[in-house]
Amino acid sequence: MVSSFFDRPVVVQLGRIDRDRVVVGVREAAQFLLYDWPQDSPARQAAMRACLAAIKGEVSTSAARDAFVAAAREARIYLGE
């Protein structure tokens, strides 16, 4: 069974300094992309596809994490690991 947890968490921030969020896995990333993402973009769509594919076992958790980080960087909400 493939783990649905990222090898390293991803820290994002939606606005206020005290609202950092630590995303630890594929399902949490997918929910965040679906419900809390600040803007739609091709990178967000790619991250959603990657997360859903990882949930189905079609791509690695690492690939989904990379797509999520790329979308977070583009949205300027990425804080680090």
Identify any residues that bridge with 25 across adjacent strands, giving them in sequence order: 5
Amino acid at 55: I
Amino acid at 35: Y
Which of the four pLDDT bands, split at 50, 70 and 90, describes residue 17? low
State which H helix or E strand residue 54 sits in. helix 42-56
Q: Residue 15: what pLDDT?
A: 77
pLDDT digits (tens, 9 = 90+) for 21-59: 999 999 999 999 999 998 899 999 999 999 999 999 999
Q: In the block, which residue shows the tokens 């090898």?
A: 7
Identify any residues that bridge with 80 across adjacent strands, giving them in sequence order: 11
Q: Is 50 exceeded by the pLDDT of residue 1? A: no
Q: Is 70 exceeded by the pLDDT of residue 2? A: no
Per-domain boundaries in the chain: 5-80
Q: Residue 60: what pLDDT?
A: 96
